[in-house]
A and B are shown apart, each in its own frame.
Chain A
């Protein structure tokens, strides 16, 4: 079966755009019921189960996170962040025809502006995507920030 490279790439660009538009509910809707969002806290982290991560959200935690992002008294988002993602260098790294799953690796740069300060996040990301009808659902989105083990000022929005 041909690898739908253009479709996959468009999907991860769409995913990043939802974050930039702060459409967090729609963003969560892209994840499969068993989907997870993972931002490791050390380079080449093997597992989210035996050590700390910056983010490791299943759908339940994602929902709690988004309810908080929508809360009028989330101080760390008063004023809210504005972000611009750039997703590029996409490569289809794995194809699992039997499961209808693909792993897409890409580079992500997110510039965030909030409260008179601008900062940059950058890293490699891997999306494990499952074919569903005419689109995909995210089984896992993993973002390996190049400075994942540094000390961060407060982060409120997903990368």
Chain B
């Protein structure tokens, strides 16, 4: 890396293109950990993962270990998972429940709100030792919307409302599908890693251009993908096989951006009138009983395919799940996929969602694995130094305002959303933290 000053950073992004260093330079990656992951609002977890006092889950924000824990008063805290004594990671399990968080090394014990509760052999502490100064560090800013917990590791920056506000409707779209009006991320998780940069996964979640070719192996001889929702007999028409081209309905999909790097893609119309199975029909009945038939119909007509809340979480509206992207190194990324339990929906409906997510997004799935192969090959190809630029120019200049949605609209097979991500990237990166 040359120096990381604003001028250098700005030169990495040009209209319709991104410099290869953005994916391959370890120094730029270190800078991203400070300037993006060190201050952006990052998705941490969902309150349903810690339903009872003492329940905790551990994760990483960027590369920093954190623990999300519910205190006795019901409040959910996001604490840095690092003992304030000699630095050991305090909680070592992915999830669990404990009255106190106790460091394995010397036994310092922290209450579930982060306060230092006890120190073994206290008579040895320095005369001016003040336990109040030795609580677990906490994320300076934490915000929550309908159970989705976000944190920023910086005191400064746009407010939670400024950041998440434009994407609340996308969260609502998912949460409203639960008859009880709430989600639970308590049905396990899928975890995968790939030898590629984290932004390859971020770019991919809103990329409808890759589907007909990248996922060709999931499309049958009639150009139709396998059924991905409970109650569907088949999936979307992706390819017009006679003409050997991307189907018109696929090309018609739209994407939207709303600033901050966020965006979403619209859904291809599936045959919702024919969607039926015992589990789906019962779910539809229960939902209609709660919210009325008209509203239920509205909720069950999908508008969103995938939403991205930049930089680290996407919400999938087709095979419903929450996807969290964790950078590990410039060329290594881990992704966690949480299936969603629609609270109040029949068990059979929730099982239908879990079962289909296994085959679309587990590490052994039909869909995600071809994406992972593409990310790995992108990272390998980008080692080439004779071509500096990655092209993201599809649809450049074709963006148009969508006044109804208060967004900017483009075709989903274009690359407007990727350009929007790099605009946000530049916003974080050009400014010293």
Binding site for B on A (CB under 8 A): 39, 41-42, 48-57, 61, 64-65, 67-68, 71, 73-76, 78, 149-156
Contacts and interface: CB of A to CB of B under 8 A. Distances in A.
Interface string B327-351: 0000000111101000000010011
B195 interface: yes
Q: Which of A50, A64, A68 neighbours the largest number of chain B CB atoms within 10 Å of its CB?
A: A68
B358 to A, nearest CB: 5
B359 A75 contact: no
Contact of A68 (B213, B218, B350): B218
Contact of A53 (B213, B216, B358): B358
A56 B369 contact: no
Interface in B65-87: none
Can you list the 8 inter-chain pairs with the closest CB atoms, starting with the nearest?
A: A51-B188, A52-B188, A152-B363, A151-B191, A74-B217, A71-B217, A73-B216, A154-B369
B359 A154 contact: no
A67 B358 CA distance: 17
Nearest to A67: B220
Interface in B337-384: 337, 339, 347, 350-351, 354-355, 357-359, 362-364, 366, 368-370, 372-374
Interface in B157-176: none
28 contacts: A41-B189, A52-B187, A52-B188, A52-B354, A52-B362, A53-B362, A54-B190, A57-B359, A61-B359, A67-B220, A68-B366, A74-B217, A75-B217, A75-B373, A78-B373, A150-B191, A151-B192, A151-B193, A152-B191, A152-B364, A153-B193, A154-B192, A154-B194, A154-B363, A154-B364, A154-B368, A155-B363, A156-B369
A54 B347 contact: no
Given A53-B362, A54-B358, A74 B370 contact: yes
B195 A41 contact: no
What bracket does the count of chain B residues touching chain A fall in? 35 or more
B319 to A, nearest CB: 12
A71 B225 CA distance: 13
Given A74-B217, A153-B193, A154-B192, A54 B364 contact: yes
B131 interface: no
Contacts of A53: 188, 354, 358, 362
Contacts of B374: 75
Contacts of B357: 52
Interface in B186-206: 187-195
Contact of B364 (A67, A75, A78, A156): A156
Contacts of B363: 54, 151-155
A51 B339 contact: yes
Contacts, number: 106
B214 interface: yes
A74 B373 CA distance: 10
Contacts of A41: 188-190, 362
A58 to B, nearest CB: 9
B2 to A, nearest CB: 32
Nearest to A50: B187
B226 interface: yes
A51 B216 contact: no
Contact of A51 (B213, B226, B354): B354
Contact of A76 (B336, B359, B373): B373
B190 A52 contact: yes
A63 B127 CA distance: 71
A74 B364 CA distance: 13
Nearest to A151: B191
A76 B372 CA distance: 8
Given A41-B189, A52-B189, A154 B372 contact: yes
Contacts of B362: 41, 52-55
A64 B359 contact: yes
Contact of B191 (A67, A75, A149): A149
Contacts of A150: 191
Q: Which of B188, B336, B337, B351 neighbours the largest number of chain A CB atoms within 10 Å of its CB?
A: B188
Q: Which of A41, A75, A153, A156 neighbours the largest number of chain B CB atoms within 10 Å of its CB?
A: A75
A149 to B, nearest CB: 7
A76 B218 CA distance: 12
A22 to B, nearest CB: 15
Q: Which of A52, A53, A68 neighbours the largest number of chain B CB atoms within 10 Å of its CB?
A: A52
A49 to B, nearest CB: 5
A48 B187 CA distance: 10
Given A56-B355, A150-B191, A76 B369 contact: yes
B193 A75 contact: no
Given A76-B369, A155-B363, 8 more contacts: A41-B362, A75-B370, A153-B194, A153-B372, A154-B192, A155-B364, A155-B369, A156-B364
